[in-house]
Amino acid sequence: MIVKIIQEYSLNHNKIRLINIVKYNNELVISREDSIAIESPLEIRLGYHKGSFQTLAITLCSPDEIVDLVYGQLYSEGIISHCSDVLSIQVFDNELGLIAEVILLKSIDYNKYLNKRHGMIHASCGICGKTEIDDLLTFQYTKNKQPIKSLSTHEICMLPEKLCQSQLAFKETGGVHACALFDKTGELLLLKEDVGRHNALDKLIGRALLQKLLPLSNKTILLSGRVSFELVHKALISGVTTLAAIGAPSSLSIEIAQANNLRLLGFVKNTGFNEYCNGKIR
């Protein structure tokens, strides 16, 4: 019998720190306390038993919900397919940052993924360090099925306000990204924040995996910023029907969305949005 032990990261960390600053406003100079977003290194190590691990990646992230982040990254990288592929995750701190040690089933061949990323994967760029970008460009996604019900124009325009109301860390710091998952009626199901756009989406996918929500068919993901190619890649891996964003999509993200029947929306606000792909099967 396989027993899964997950030790959540609870080392008195959160993603916000208070510091003293000097604020200049017109002719006024004010000393005050300010909230800033914490950015911390995270090393993800994989192995089959305690004491024998190999480094998969080093990323910069908000130091909270690390287990969700690890599950999401392993799932979106194609290393795991189910929660049961992971025997345990232990997260701890050292003088350099956070370390997540993941023990996998011996049937999971992770060695082929170890050399695809070199150096630091920065919070702002999810594919920095990838040596095999062709793997992303030629990935065989499961084709999205026609959605049973798409959100109406009015429902889509309501999403940014729902996202904004739940962005607690952003309200305090202005320094984190967010992504949110909505059901087919526009109800908010999940929201994750992180200093990295890709980390926020990995945290959301990881939590969805743990809650047995995958694939995310007939659901919508809303991003707080722009849409890069790898965010579309992760969205397609999750099986979501619609990917929407407050910002703009890149040309490559539009091409991949079109090829894989993903409805892609940009510049979403309360007055309207741009539709770049309608998600209809051609």
Instruction: Point out the residues that are catalytic.
Output: 125
Burial of 43 (0-12, 13-18, 19+ CB in 10 A): middle
Dist. CA 212–CA 209, nearest whole Å: 5
- For residue 200, what are the contacts with CB-CB under 8 A and spacing of at least 6? 176, 177, 178, 179, 192, 193, 194, 224
* 3-state DSSP assignment of residue 263: strand
Among 81, 70, 68, 63, which residue's Cα sits nearest to residue 17?
A: 63
DSSP track, 217-238: TT-EEEESS-B-HHHHHHHHHH
C-alpha torsion angle, residues 158, 271, 239, 263 (rounded to 10):
150
Q: How far is CA 213 from the centre of its chain?
A: 15
3-class secondary-structure state, position 203: helix
